[in-house]
Homo-oligomer: A and B are copies of this chain.
Amino acid sequence: MKKITVFFVCLFMTGVSVFGFQNTEIDYDAIYKIKDEGLNNSQVMDIAWNLTDRIGPRLTGSEGLKRAYDWTSAEMKEWGLSNVKVEAWGEFGPGWGVKKSYLAMTAPYYQALIGIPKAWTPGTDGEIEAEVVYVNIQNESDLAKYKGKLAGKVVMLPTTASAETTFEADARRLTDEQLDGMMSARVSNANRQFSARRVSDFRRRAQLRNAAYQLFKDEGVKMVLATNRGGQGTFFTSNGARRDPNALPEMEISPEHYNRLVRLAVKGEPIRIEADTKTVFQREDLKGYNVLGEIPGSDPKLKDEVVMLGAHLDSWFAGTGATDNAAGSAVMMEVMRILKESKIPLKRTVRVALWSGEEQGLYGSRNYVQNTFMKNGKPNSAHEKFSAYYNMDNGTGAVRGIYLQSNEAVRPIFQEWFKAFEDMGASTVTIRNTGGTDHQAFDGIGLPGFQFIQDPIDYGTRTHHSNMDVFERLQAADLRKNAVIIATMVMQTANMDEKMPRKPKVFESLNRSR
């Protein structure tokens, strides 16, 4: 086994502490085995196919996610992973799913409309046929104009969504310039600042929508139509995160179809629609679950310490959640398969987690870290024995590097490890934070949690919460590569001399809170 040992001094450009020397041996023999298994015998696309085409959409609480719990845990057991379990993290609430989705304009002429019921809304209870009313409100006083006029109607509100022709490619990769910019970035504030004006505008619009929605209920509206961004047959869903038990039937439709109805209404053309939607609520099991599996540590002294990796298994439901996040789930499962199959000794225990409830607020991971690493609001011994968590949830694109999540102490370690992947285009280590997914659950309780820089491909333009987040959008070569890189990161973390350095600031605040 050839090893190259590198010693270095941690230099803190933004902090004051010095942790001192840290061993970051790069295990090129192990990497060779990982590359061989991950590139020449990859199963990542087969895993991803099962999660998407075969299992389908995986909304938290749905039949689809239940199938995914069953299948992923069965696979992990078949691969010989240890302690495989589908573990409840707490109560999520009722599950929901679509059983029929049909909507068409019938006047001034027939046009089937591309759309889907909004999450956690009821169906139409059989086919309905109704006039469409465009409720053109700019402020609450406008609502009075519609009182007594909406019973039995289908309503639409003004939208800013458009679907302009684009002269830019849907999909792209990060350029060298963009990566250089990330490399040289300083610590960023993870919270974007919104102007007071913007916040008050947002509140005003939300209030107006709520007032309109109340009017619709009071009036006895049959259905609400809505739209979001998208175009050319792609539509993004807003996802009805509220899970309002008294919601009206509502459909989210493609912007071109929505805006055609709006334009016709504004010109005074009578519009009628027919719709037949059926949705089901699952109330038998209100709990949410995570799927867990392990490769036990081989070093008697270190096997109680844990390195984790994960991705969320749940998805939205208009597509099959291919890039969000069958991609991450498939890669993390493949990482475990590669590590198990290649029989590389791992000193620390390696544990994979496939989360649920991520799309509603990182519920699976946030509850897991509370249940596992905290007791009465304070870190427990498992917190002490934890090294690092790696997450993948930035779509299908190739890993190009990693976000340090403001943890400067980790920079030299990751810089060293990524040297093994310069030929794969992955070498950018940025101090920046990235948010919006499950590594934040770990970061939030002072544990090192990381997520990777990935090529965006068409995540923002086509797939992220859209009806077209489907198998075709997965980039096979990228996912194979990602599994190899992440398997290496996990292997190195499992076998390094010390646990992963933590952020000093978080330690201090945790110490203060004891």
Residues of B within 8 A of A102 (CB): 102, 104, 112, 276
A233 in complex: contacting residue of B108, B172, B233, B260, CB < 8 Å = B233
Q: How many chain copies?
A: 2
Give the interface segment out of A93-101, A431-439, A443-451, A500-508. Answer: A93-101
Name which residue of chain B comes closest to A262, CB basis: B53
| Complex contact A473–B54 (CB within 8 A) | no
| Complex contact B101–A104 (CB within 8 A) | yes
Residues of B within 8 A of A57 (CB): 109, 111
| Complex contact A233–B259 (CB within 8 A) | no
Residues of B within 8 A of A164 (CB): 472
| Complex contact B53–A264 (CB within 8 A) | yes
| Complex contact A166–B165 (CB within 8 A) | no
Q: Is A49 an interface residue (CB 8 A)?
A: yes
- Minimum C-beta distance from A129 to chain B (A): 12
Residues of B within 8 A of A166 (CB): 169-171
- Minimum C-beta distance from A60 to chain B (A): 16
| Complex contact B471–A263 (CB within 8 A) | yes
Q: Is A163 an interface residue (CB 8 A)?
A: yes
The CA-CA distance from A428 to B98 in the complex, in Å, is 54
Q: Is A495 an interface residue (CB 8 A)?
A: no
Residues of B within 8 A of A8 (CB): none
The CA-CA distance from A355 to B486 in the complex, in Å, is 61
| Complex contact A114–B114 (CB within 8 A) | yes
Within 8 A of B (CB), among A69-110: 97-102, 104, 108-110
- Minimum C-beta distance from A172 to chain B (A): 7
The CA-CA distance from A232 to B471 in the complex, in Å, is 11
Residues of A in contact (CB 8 Å), total 61
Q: Is A116 an interface residue (CB 8 A)?
A: yes
A256 in complex: contacting residue of B112, B458, B470, CB < 8 Å = B470
The CA-CA distance from A173 to B165 in the complex, in Å, is 12
Q: Is A36 an interface residue (CB 8 A)?
A: no
Within 8 A of B (CB), among A461-487: 462, 467-468, 470-473, 475
A260/B165 contact (C-beta < 8 A), A102-B112, A232-B170, A234-B233 known? no
The CA-CA distance from A339 to B163 in the complex, in Å, is 33
| Complex contact B232–A54 (CB within 8 A) | no
| Complex contact B100–A104 (CB within 8 A) | yes
The CA-CA distance from A111 to B97 in the complex, in Å, is 11
Name which residue of chain B comes closest to A117, CB basis: B112
Q: Is A56 an interface residue (CB 8 A)?
A: yes
| Complex contact A457–B165 (CB within 8 A) | yes
5 CB contacts below 8 A, A to B, read A53-B264, A114-B233, A166-B169, A166-B171, A255-B472
A-B CB proximity, top 6 nearest: A233-B233, A56-B109, A101-B112, A233-B234, A102-B102, A163-B472
Known: A55-B109, A260-B470. 13 other contacts (CB 8 A): A56-B108, A56-B109, A63-B109, A98-B112, A102-B276, A163-B472, A164-B472, A165-B171, A166-B171, A167-B169, A167-B173, A231-B472, A260-B471
